[in-house]
Structure 1
Amino acid sequence: MRKPARKSSNKNRKSSFEEKFSHMVAEYQKAKEVLDSLAEGTAEYNKQKKVCDKLFASAERFINKN
């Protein structure tokens, strides 16, 4: 007798992808809130803008990879 074929774990990968992406989005939104509360043109604002840009780029790479 043949062994039954294993089913793909696409459902697990999909939920894992959604969890990771939602975590990335939440992290970006928190950083964006901090950025919005700062005065534009200050050193802190520029530093926080770089953080936001990095988080956004990371999420974009994650989407393109998957």
Structure 2
Amino acid sequence: MALIEEDSVQIGNTIYFDCQSVAYLRSLNPADMAIGIGCIAVDAENGECRLVGAVEAAKLNLF
């Protein structure tokens, strides 16, 4: 998995990054896509990371 820095947004003290499989980023073949992976949230103050679920991502209108 790789974070896609170009697809990031900061809301308050949290930075949200989209992520995708490295294989897909190299090939752009849909068969290589990571399916069902949400984005990653990083606390800008302490660096803590967590996965963001689909409901939270939808409520925040991420990506």
Is this a same-fold pair by TM over 0.5?
A: no
Larger Rg: 1
Between structures 1 and 2, the one with greater strand share: 2
TM (norm. structure 2) is 0.29
Of Structure 1 and Structure 2, which has the larger fraction of its residues in helix?
Answer: 1
